Amino acid sequence: MAVRWFYLSALTLSSLGLMCILFTVYWMQSWHGGFAWDGTIFTFNCHPVLMVAGMVVLYSAASLVYRLPQSWVGSKLPWKIVHAALHLMAFILTVLGLVAVFKYHNHANIANLYSLHSWLGITTVFLFACQWFLGFAVFLLPWASVWLRRLLKPIHVFFGASILSLAIASVISGINEKLFFSLKNATKPYSSLPGEAVFANSTGMLVVVFALLVLYILQASSWKRPEAGVVTERQPLMHERE
């Protein structure tokens, strides 16, 4: 039952995640002229796409690795490597997303890191970096004691969900800010809800729905890998499939 629900949710989540990325690409392509890497406004356009793809969608996929029923049995090590590798890929996309906005700001002589969106965003990426390095050092490398791992695991799990929540707050404030900039002198201002405003607002709400589903699956106890030594009704299910 739990397994069937997991796969249904995984399919829904994958579709929603893909839609979040494609909607952001479509927004930047259709209303802002597409992408480049030359320091112009088209470089800035990579920023929302890379942040949504890295800091929200791939980050969520990486976080959900231990919810895959295949990861519940057998050695945990291969799943730890997948978890860390996917998070590293998410982190690389996120850093590229930051590079895009700094490159554009420096090219256009715009100050960096002044808005609350940027303060929260950079804090979120900093926490993500700390979380990854601490997770790598304590949970993946073999040297940390069981005592230290037990102490840090609830903190690692808490910050995993918190960083996603902060990323959502950053994405929402970022989309909001971008619309105030781009629809400032438009013939149809933001307040008259032109097509771009409705589309980008909807993209923001879609990102929220996606993240809420991810957070729900992360905390739902029936999808968690059983602790070592604990036998549940799920494990025989897995053996039956082998």
Phi, psi of 178, deg, nearest 5 = -60, -40
Whichever of 70 and 202 has its CB closer to a copy of itself, that residue is 202
Whichever of 92 and 130 has its CB closer to a copy of itself, that residue is 130
| Site residue total, a copy of itself (CB under 8 A) | 40
Between helix 146-182 and helix 195-219 the angle, nearest 10°, is 170
The pairs formed by 162-165 with CB atoms below 8 angstroms and a separation of 24 or more are 162/127, 163/59, 163/124, 163/127, 163/128, 163/131, 164/56, 164/59, 164/60, 164/63, 164/211, 164/214, 164/215, 165/211, 165/215
Q: How far is CA 176 from CA 12, 132, 206, in A?
A: 26, 29, 14
Cβ atoms of 175 and 203 within 8 Å: the answer is: yes
Of 16-24, 29-37, 110-118, 130-138: span binding a copy of itself (CB under 8 A): 110-118
Report the residue from 25, 100, 175, 214 that binds a copy of itself according to the rule CB under 8 A. 175
Whichever of 195 and 236 has its CB closer to a copy of itself, that residue is 195
Report the residue from 33, 70, 216, 236 that binds a copy of itself according to the rule CB under 8 A. 216
Shortest Cβ distance from residue 10 to a copy of itself (Å)? 18
Instruction: Report DSSP letters for 135-161, one per residue.
Output: HIIIIISTTS-HHHHHHHHHHHHHHHH
1 sits near a copy of itself (criterion: CB under 8 A): no
Shortest Cβ distance from residue 212 to a copy of itself (Å)? 6
CA distance 66 to 74: 12
Shortest Cβ distance from residue 201 to a copy of itself (Å)? 5
Tokens matching residue 33: 């002229």
Within 111-130, the residues that bind a copy of itself by CB under 8 A are 111, 114-117, 119-120, 123
Whichever of 81 and 205 has its CB closer to a copy of itself, that residue is 205
Q: Residue numbers of the site for a copy of itself (CB under 8 A)?
A: 110-111, 114-117, 119-120, 123, 154, 158, 162, 165-166, 168-170, 172-173, 175-177, 179-180, 190-193, 197, 200-201, 204-205, 208, 212, 215-216, 219-221
